[in-house]
Amino acid sequence: MQYRLLGRSGLAVSELCLGTMTFGNTTNEADSIEMMNRFMEKGGNFLDTADVYVSGRSEEIVGKAIKNRRSEVVLATKVRMNTADHPNGAGISRKHIMDGIDASLKRLQTDYIDLYQVHVWDHATPIEETLRTLDDLVTSGKVRYIGCSNFFAWQLMKSLACSDANRYVRFISIQPQYSLVSREMDREMMSLCAEENVGIIPWAPLGGGFLTGRYTREEPTEGRLTSKVGESSWALRNTEKNFAVLDAVSDSARQLDKTPSQIALRWLLQRQGITSPIFGARTLEQFEDNMGAIGWSMPQELWDGLDEVSSLPSEYPNRFIAKFARPY
């Protein structure tokens, strides 16, 4: 396992982050704990959860697993989604964040979060209020670093500018959806993060399972992609372009004697700007398969081929700006 610094910080995280969204739901508690133990045995130190995953069960199970090895873990959780049925039960107001942190700390059986992330932008709250509150949490010791997730590039840039103007702590990372079948972040987020040194920790690096090779052009009858809603629904994944990407992934897998999941993760591991993909695994077998993405390198020509088949169409203004790039 290799380690990378997360954005503009001294925080070392493993090159793979274990997602825990299924823990206490489709992955039972015993398997979840076994998975985290195996992950840490292999050198993984980075775990991602959220207050809303399985109504708090995911945080509880993570808390149980890391209780006796807290200091070696980089623990990431999130706040913002709906956790209570009243007008302040969601959002990134001072009130909801202050309530949210204490509830998360309790479920996680710890007195600090390493990376506290805003789960999604909140149009209702001024970003100054949110960042002042997060800065207070860092000062109080309840939080060590802050990050965000599911932002437009302008929202991240506005946040960074607000932190700088007020001398608040900055977001050190962004957690967007990003994979070979979801490359929207190439429009503006990737270049912003390079410019501002913000770490990128992509969610759904396997496209919610699409890139594992288990799906064909037939509508699935089992697995996550049977879902009718959500980012990993069949309706969104079932496109000719995505199947062209999947064909290329499977072809690379055959050539390198790897599995499609390992190829999809490996592509991200070698993508400049990506710090640590957050992968999910429902079973221990899936977990072992996915961990096979580390410890080897994909030849550049195969990486380039996957890049080409999955890239966004040529678009303005990127196309126009690139045309006039100066050679300095």
Q: Which of the residues are catalytic?
A: 53
Query: Where would I find the H helices in 85-223?
Result: 94-108, 127-140, 153-166, 189-196
Closest to ligand NAP by CB, 256 vs 318, is: 256
Q: Binding marks (x or -) toward ligand NAP, 251..290, rule CB under 6 A?
A: ----------x----------------xxxxx---x--xx
Q: How many residues bind ligand NAP (CB under 6 A)?
A: 31
Residue 66 as a binder of ligand NAP (CB under 6 A): the answer is no
Q: Binding marks (x or -) toward ligand NAP, 28..57, rule CB under 6 A?
A: --------------------x---------
The residue range among 37-45, 162-170, 209-217, 306-314 that interacts with ligand NAP, by the rule CB under 6 A, is 209-217
Residue 92 as a binder of ligand NAP (CB under 6 A): the answer is no
Residue 130 as a binder of ligand NAP (CB under 6 A): the answer is no
Parallel, antiparallel, or unpaired for β 278-279 and 17-19? parallel
Q: Least distance to ligand NAP from the beta carbon of 130, Å?
A: 16
Residue 155 as a binder of ligand NAP (CB under 6 A): the answer is no
Buried b (16+ CB within 10 A) or exposed e, 187-226: ebbbebbeebebbbbbbbbbbbbbbbbebeeeebeebbbe
Residue 77 as a binder of ligand NAP (CB under 6 A): the answer is no
Residue 172 DSSP class: E
Q: Least distance to ligand NAP from the beta carbon of 324, Å?
A: 36
The residue range among 18-26, 155-163, 186-194, 317-325 that interacts with ligand NAP, by the rule CB under 6 A, is 18-26
Whether the link from the prior residue into 202 is cis, omega within 30° of 0, is no
Smallest Cα–Cα separation from 170: which of 161, 180, 182, 183?
Answer: 161
Residue 68 DSSP class: G
Residue 232 as a binder of ligand NAP (CB under 6 A): the answer is yes
Residue 133 as a binder of ligand NAP (CB under 6 A): the answer is no
Residue 111 DSSP class: S
Q: Least distance to ligand NAP from the beta carbon of 119, Å?
A: 6
Smallest Cα–Cα separation from 278: which of 15, 56, 29, 53?
Answer: 15
Residue 26 as a binder of ligand NAP (CB under 6 A): the answer is yes
Strand-pair partners of 19: 48
Question: In sequence order, which residues have a C-beta less than 8 Å from that of residue 114 and are 6 or more positions away?
Answer: 11, 73, 74, 75, 76, 144, 145
Distance CA 37, CA 161 (A): 39
Largest CA distance in the chain: 57
The packing angle between helices 189-196 and 153-166, to 10°, is: 20
Q: Least distance to ligand NAP from the beta carbon of 325, Å?
A: 33
Residue 223 as a binder of ligand NAP (CB under 6 A): the answer is yes
Closest to ligand NAP by CB, 115 vs 137, is: 115
Which residues make up the interface to ligand NAP (CB under 6 A)? 19-22, 26, 48, 119, 149-150, 175, 203-209, 212, 214, 223-224, 232, 261, 278-282, 286, 289-290
